[in-house]
Chain A
Amino acid sequence: MRVPTRQVYWNIPGHEWMYALFVVLLAVLAWGIWQRASLWRLGRPARRLDQPGRRLAEMNRQVILQARLLRDALSGPMHLLLSWGFVVLFLGTVVVFLKADLGLPVMQGPFYLYFQSLTLDLFGALALIATAVAAWRRYLERLPRLSRTVQDWVILALFALILLTGFVLEGLRIEVTRDPWGLWSPVGYLFGRLFASFLSVGAMRLLHRGLWWFHLVIAFAFLGLIPFSKMFHILLAPLNVYMRSLEPKGELPPMDVEAAAEAGEHLGAAELTDFSWKQLFDLDACTECGRCEAVCPAHAVGKALDPKYVVLNLREHLHAEGPSLLALAARARSAAENGPAEGEGEAVSHLVGPVIDPEALWACTTCRACMEACPVFIEHVPTIVQMRRYQVMELADYPATMQEALTSLEERGHPFRGSTASRLDWAEGLEVPLLSRLGGAEGLDYVLWVGCSAAFDERNQRIARALATLLQRAGVRFAILGDEERCTGDPARRMGNEFLFQMTARENVDLLRRYGVRRILTLCPHCYNTFRNEYPRFGGEYEVVHHSQLLRELLASGRLRVTRPSLLETTYHDPCYLGRYNDEYEAPRAVLGAVAGGGLREMERNRNHAFCCGAGGGRMWAEEAPSQRVNRERARQALATGARRVGTACPFCMTMLEDGIKSETGGDGSVEVRDLAEIVEEATRPAS
């Protein structure tokens, strides 16, 4: 019996010309990649290659298994099939190369039948289906997150043409050569039968020869386009996932403000060269899939911010300005080597203004939904904040109401300018011990860090009261700092005033050290995040607990007993800085489950997909156009559940949601907004 195989280059005299084209392709690829890669050198140093094991594991999850992509029930499988289809077909081509060019006897026998024929055919067919789905999503369903530019249709057309011509070629060969193993390539076989039904053998031979060259040229054209199109992500996406940040999600990249000022560097990002090479790499890795845009709360309510275009505009700027910046850098280097650099009058090619709309820059709530959605792990928020840093620290050019908040933070220790409350108003009549009276944190279970919002916002004082009452009820030993408490600096950091943040952080760390504070309880996810993820770098290492976590524990251990289960149906709003930044999704739900007899109704966007309330990133203190309020959109989503109560675990979310619910219901009181502490306090009140 003959060994199953097929003849390579059947019917293709002069196929050697392919090698000439291949050399051209390699040259184009090399040149294209060099063009892009050389621009990354404009960036500053960044350490992104440590811990290879951890990096490989995540790369495996995101590139091989495509975990994030699969969150989209249609586009995810589409991409999985398309990418794996092409990978398998590429492997098939490698097998051909091994046989034809290296003479290895690999393309024969069962391997030829099972892999080279059947598997390739199946993957090719799946890729073809995936291409159809992709085209449908983009051009018929017209998904808003997808763009419809020339490159978009060219690439889809190339996919379809490469796959279709491949099948037709295979079918024609099977027909003309009467391939005895033709049925092992079922899709190609069917194409062959189809063409045989109306073409003579001679015509099929001719068609085969022409089509073979066409297939070759478009396949090479596609490969050659990679570095010049969004398809560059085939190479860069896996690398970008590998080089993702391994720092805590809740920590913005730190900077040494004083050293930078001394060295004459920009504070923050004024121009491209202020970014790290990884931030520039991010730009080229973008696939333009628009998942960030689709989840962005600012974009959803019609603000100027579109995270996808933050990336794409910066990329366009990089490609346009990069080469001249490189030349400039080279000249500066040689000037530095050859003597005193004058360096004067060097024009700064500003990002904010010409490239990034300032309104977009300030619209970001730093909610991290974009970063959580990005399948290639682009880091939008740090890049946005870095541009804010320059606007704030070097230009002092940012929204006036945000300026007032930061001035108040600096002068009065809290960002709530004009508040008539004092730090201790909320505790009136509760006999909450002060650390200054106790002299230290010894013997305490926790120091309760109240936070400015719960201290100075009249509504939110009720949250602090409820929590303190619960702690007393459960016999938790705690104290507060009272007048000595200041803002953690979170709003300053997110608005870009890194200088003020660091001053504040150092002062707070000193204060807590003087009292020997080790365990901190917060009711504000922003304070929680800052203590947990950002203070360690300033020498402040604490065990930080959010009140949702402590309440879960107190309820589970029976130290708090439910006396009157709450019967209102409740929906829970995930605060970004508790959920997406710190992965705490379950404690609040467990608390609600323990006290809410009415059941929990999830909003469509929950957990890591939750929609921000609109207050983060300093937006709490920004002016909002009435038609562009993120909180009203979130309130609508909450109302859509039909729940009579919205539960949350963040005083900022409270302010935003209560306001949103009031606006959306006309203030009829039909739906209430409550913090977990308030809900639990009511449900565990001792029967009197």
Chain B
Amino acid sequence: MPERADFLHGGLRMRLVVGLKYILDPEIPPRDFRIDEEARRPVQGRASLVISPFDENALELALQMKDRDPATQVVALSAGPASSEEALRKALSLRVDEAVRVETDPLGEPDGEQTALLLARAVQRLGGDILLVGRQAGDWDRGQTGPIAAEILGWPCVTAVSRIEAADGRLRLRHEGPDGLEVVEATPPLVLTVTNDEANQLRIPKARDILATRSKQVGRLSLDDLGLSPEAVPPRSEVTRLYVPVEEHQCEWIEGDDAEAKARALADRLMALKVL
């Protein structure tokens, strides 16, 4: 492929690290969604866990780059409890080269800033040219992890990327900005946060590859491996209150004999409510 040489930089193969967060299914029916107000966290109940949707888009972009250039390596990375290895297994069934979990148990449930630190340190440890993460997680929707990881790594960050092409020795990134689409050119090392697009819906695994993952291992990195201790990690931002907002609807009938009277009454009422 003519692009291949462009993908190489510094004589090294491209190595893409994709951050995957394993979250409570955001498509759970609203009435099944429960929170524990005391503990200030959602309750899983019978809901399933899934890969955060924008992270799926990030993984798909990385796999597409690997499709175009088989020398590209894709590493799936997740910072989370043991259950998140399911997400990594799914990534393995999609034929990523490596899958690694950063053990977060000493930290409880890390927030965006903590996760950014863990991912950044893991990238330094595992080696990588691009870190891709979803633009925001499907559970807390904070959107901090990518930019903070870029800060820690000292790498440029392009947010809300939906497509990646290689051209003229650079990467051409499609960024969805507030005023429309922008095409940005950049060279690795980079942090990209990925948004969804019809072209980056995560592919589905093949049965044969799922079977093959049974013999594959998920790598593990402890805080220690990353040169960190629980104390060295910035404290978790604190949620002071968690609640399901209650929406209240009030309905009022506007009375009137004919359309004009009704319109007049409506206008009066709106002015009384200070809407008009």
Contacts and interface: CB of A to CB of B under 8 A. Distances in A.
Nearest to A400: B201
B9 interface: no
A640 to B, nearest CB: 40
Interface string B196-215: 00000101111110111000
B30 interface: yes
Given A422-B31, A425-B31, A483-B46, A411 B25 contact: yes
B204 A403 contact: yes
A421 interface: yes
Contacts of B32: 422
Interface string A421-438: 110010000000000000
Interface string A490-504: 000000011110000
Given A393-B206, A406-B204, A420-B29, A413 B211 contact: no
B205 A396 contact: yes
Given A396-B205, A499-B210, A411 B30 contact: no
A267 B27 contact: no
B50 interface: yes
Contacts of B124: none
Interface in A87-132: none
B217 interface: no
Interface string A39-77: 000000000000000000000000000000000000000
A483 B201 CA distance: 29
A417 B29 CA distance: 11
A315 B37 CA distance: 66
Given A261-B211, A394-B206, A412 B29 contact: no
B5 to A, nearest CB: 28
Contact of A412 (B25, B201, B205): B25
Interface in B4-37: 25, 27, 29-32
The A interface is mostly helix, strand or loop, or mixed, namely helix
Interface residues of B, number: 19
Contact of B27 (A261, A393, A412, A483): A412
Nearest to B47: A412
A406 B205 CA distance: 11
Contacts of B211: 257-258, 261-262, 499
Interface residues of A, number: 30
A417 B46 CA distance: 17
A499 B204 CA distance: 13
A400 B210 CA distance: 19
B48 interface: yes
A147 interface: no
Interface in A258-280: 258, 261-262, 267
A407 interface: yes
B208 A411 contact: no
B208 A394 contact: yes
Interface in B207-246: 207-208, 210-212
B63 to A, nearest CB: 12
A419 interface: yes
Nearest to B210: A499
Contacts of A395: 206
Interface string B170-207: 00000000000000000000000000000001011111
Task: Determine which residue in B25, B30, B46, B203 has the highest number of CB atoms from chain A within 10 A of its CB, and name it.
Answer: B46
B186 to A, nearest CB: 31
A413 B28 CA distance: 12
A400 B201 CA distance: 10
A268 to B, nearest CB: 9
Contact of B204 (A396, A417, A498): A396
Contacts of B29: 419-422, 425
B50 A411 contact: yes
A412 B204 CA distance: 15
Contacts of A14: none
Contacts of B205: 396
Contacts of B25: 411-412
Nearest to A406: B204
Contact of B208 (A393, A483, A500): A393
Given A421-B29, A422-B31, A499 B207 contact: yes
B206 to A, nearest CB: 5
A394 B207 contact: yes
Nearest to A403: B204
B30 A257 contact: no
Contact of B30 (A261, A420, A484): A420
Nearest to B32: A422
A345 interface: no
Nearest to B45: A483
A669 interface: no
Given A411-B48, A411-B50, A483-B46, A417 B27 contact: yes
Contacts of B46: 483-484
A412 B24 CA distance: 11
Contacts of B210: 499
A497 B31 CA distance: 31
Contact of A418 (B27, B201, B206, B212): B27
Which of B30, B205, B208 counts the most A-chain CB atoms under 10 A from its CB?
B208
Nearest to B31: A422
A393 B210 CA distance: 10
A605 to B, nearest CB: 36
B27 A413 contact: no
A420 B30 CA distance: 7
Contacts of B207: 257, 261, 267, 392-394, 497-500
Contact of A407 (B31, B204, B206, B208): B204
B198 to A, nearest CB: 10
Contacts of A267: 207-208
B27 to A, nearest CB: 7
- Shortest 8 CB-CB distances between A and B: which pairs? A393-B207, A499-B207, A422-B29, A483-B46, A422-B32, A261-B211, A396-B206, A420-B29
Given A257-B207, A393-B207, A498-B207, 20 more contacts: A258-B211, A261-B207, A394-B206, A394-B208, A396-B203, A396-B204, A400-B201, A403-B204, A412-B27, A413-B48, A418-B27, A420-B29, A420-B30, A421-B29, A422-B29, A422-B31, A425-B31, A499-B207, A499-B210, A499-B211
Interface of A: 257-258, 261-262, 267, 392-396, 400, 403, 406-407, 411-413, 417-422, 425, 483-484, 497-500
17 contacts: A258-B211, A261-B208, A261-B211, A267-B208, A392-B207, A393-B206, A393-B208, A394-B208, A411-B25, A412-B27, A420-B29, A420-B30, A422-B31, A425-B31, A484-B46, A499-B207, A499-B210
Interface of B: 25, 27, 29-32, 46, 48, 50, 201, 203-208, 210-212
